[in-house]
Structure 1
Amino acid sequence: MRALPEKPWFMAASFASLIAGFLLISSFLRLGGDRNLLCSVAGPPATGSSVELLTSAVLHYATSSVTPQQSRSEIRISYSVLRARSPCNFLVFGLGHDSLMWQSFNPGGTTVFLEEDPKWVQSVLRDAPSLHAHTVRYPTKLKEADDLLTSWRSEPACDPARAALKGNTQCRLALAGLPNEIYEKEWDLIMIDAPRGYFAEAPGRMGAIYSAALMARNRKGAGPTDVFLHDVDRKVEKAFAAEFLCKKHLVEGKGRLWHFRIPAVPGNETTASSGGGFC
């Protein structure tokens, strides 16, 4: 979710135009083509009205020389799902220059960001104070990925048939210390674009992928959970996606982004106790 190096002004302007168009089209479609769409909103989120979010996002990207890390084709995948499901509950692992865009794509819904670096959180919120973000600590390191991938099945606390996230300190992959808000809500969409996973001491995304899969399986509400995983060109993301998000749930992919649609497991029935795992 961090920014790429600055690009020429005309590329930033082109991207800003795309985002502005996306925002307006999204509102127009959701409101049934009402020509007064900017005066009619689905319902104000806690951080301000939908109109304020939209205009703030357009202004932000129109005046910034920094472009989001995901490509246009990657963004279109998540945007199309948000357009269909918004207002919804949207959980994003990562906080960056594209966060205001994601929040604006979900007017009337709840969009929450999780970020590992408290200084980065302060920096982003200074420019976009309407964002709802938490600083979180990840218990893993990237260098542990191979061991975590092979050993989780031998830990009963990781078994998807009975595992919980909150307070689950026995399962090394479970994100046990997140804010209560994360456990109390059911998330319709989950985007995994953090934490950092490109050097040995980095947290890696192993816990985020496992925890997103468990949240999706345990969903009680109607419908599936849409999970978006970025940087699938990397070994760890690809391996943990196959283990926990499951190839059979892969809907589409563009560039370095994969989109999974994961159904809930009724009654949390599973064959995991006999070695079936998540897939």
Structure 2
Amino acid sequence: MRLLVFGLGYDSPLWHALNPGGVTVFLEEDPEWYNIVRTESPFLRAHLVQYRTRLDHADALFESYKRFNSCLPGEAAESPVRIRRNEDCPLALHNLPPEVYENEWDMLMIDAPKGYFPEAPGRMAAIWTATAMAWSRRGEGDTDVFLHDVDRPVEKMFAEEFLCERFRVGGTGRLWYFSIPPVSRRGNTTAASGGAERPFC
């Protein structure tokens, strides 16, 4: 399968090993930690990435994202949500390595970036981008999304707004599991979603 993981860790070689013959890609924002993990596991397919967000801006981003048309799903299945080169949406990870956009991901795991001090990037953009990728899927099947640390208010708030409670199919401890259908299989997007109030749900 195609597996995209937000974050590098000591568990990264395990996820790589569990997906033989598949594509497993890791995204990490901390240069020092990136170098440590890559030195110990040079076979991992990993990219060093940058985030535009800060955890202490989470509330403002949450309250303002609907004012940006570039952050909202389109009215038709043919125009779900744009990520690549979408600089106008502050939640879009618009400058990731090309292979991230060129693959359709079967599973996304969000365990990064850091989200435990005010200046940290927080996971707001990772959650929004994972949602946009799931919405835009053209291939068969739903997109599985796993989000860690849902005991923290920002992760919980953004998960409920973008990944949506109706797509949550499981969870344990601090981990939630969502299965998100592409917008092309939802019929009328406005009717199937929360409309203007909760456009992704």
Q: TM-score range by the shorter chain?
A: over 0.9
Amino acid at match of 2:189: T
> Is 1:94 aligned to residue 12 of structure 2?
no
> Is 1:208 aligned to residue 126 of structure 2?
yes
Amino acid at match of 1:157: S
Gaps of 5+ in 1: 1-87
2:63 is paired with a residue whose SS is helix
Q: CA deviation at 1:273?
A: 10
d(CA) in 2 for partners of 1:118, 1:139: 16
In structure 1, the residue matched to 2:104 is 186
* 8 A Cα contact 1:116 1:135, kept in partner: yes
Using the aligned pairs only, state the percent identity.
55
Q: CA deviation at 1:232?
A: 0.4
Where does structure 1 differ by over 4 angstroms across 4 or more consecutive aligned residues?
Answer: none
d(CA) in 2 for partners of 1:124, 1:257: 23
2:8 is paired with a residue whose SS is coil
d(CA) in 2 for partners of 1:176, 1:270: 23
d(CA) in 2 for partners of 1:105, 1:126: 20
Q: TM-score, normalised on structure 1?
A: 0.67
Q: CA deviation at 1:159?
A: 1.0
In structure 2, the residue matched to 1:144 is 57
Q: CA deviation at 1:270?
A: 2.0
Q: Deviations over 1:219-247 (max 9, x none)?
A: 00000000000000000000000000000
Q: Deviations over 1:191-233 (max 9, x none)?
A: 0000000010000000000000010011000000000000000
d(CA) in 1 for partners of 2:57, 2:72: 19
Distance 1:273-1:164 versus aligned 2 partners, 3 A rule: farther
Query: Going by fraction, where is strand more abundant, 1 or 2?
Result: 2
In structure 2, the residue matched to 1:270 is 189
Which of 109, 112, 122 aligns to 2:22? It is 109
Which of 1 and 2 has higher RCO (CA within 8 Å, sep 6+)? 2
Q: CA deviation at 1:267?
A: 7.6
Q: Deviations over 1:3-34 (max 9, x none)?
A: xxxxxxxxxxxxxxxxxxxxxxxxxxxxxxxx
d(CA) in 2 for partners of 1:181, 1:118: 20
Q: In the comparison of the two structures, how many residue pairs are matched?
A: 192
Gaps of 5+ in 2: none
> Is 1:133 aligned to residue 46 of structure 2?
yes
Amino acid at match of 1:277: P
Q: CA deviation at 1:265?
A: 0.7
In structure 1, the residue matched to 2:178 is 260
Query: Going by fraction, where is helix more abundant, 1 or 2?
Result: 1
* 8 A Cα contact 2:106 2:142, kept in partner: yes
Q: CA deviation at 1:133?
A: 0.2
Q: CA deviation at 1:125?
A: 1.1
Q: CA deviation at 1:111?
A: 0.2
d(CA) in 2 for partners of 1:247, 1:262: 11
Q: CA deviation at 1:274?
A: 4.9
- C-alpha RMSD over aligned residues: 1.5
* 8 A Cα contact 1:250 1:259, kept in partner: yes
> Is 1:176 aligned to residue 98 of structure 2?
no
* 8 A Cα contact 1:152 1:158, kept in partner: yes
d(CA) in 1 for partners of 2:14, 2:101: 24
Q: TM-score, normalised on structure 2?
A: 0.92
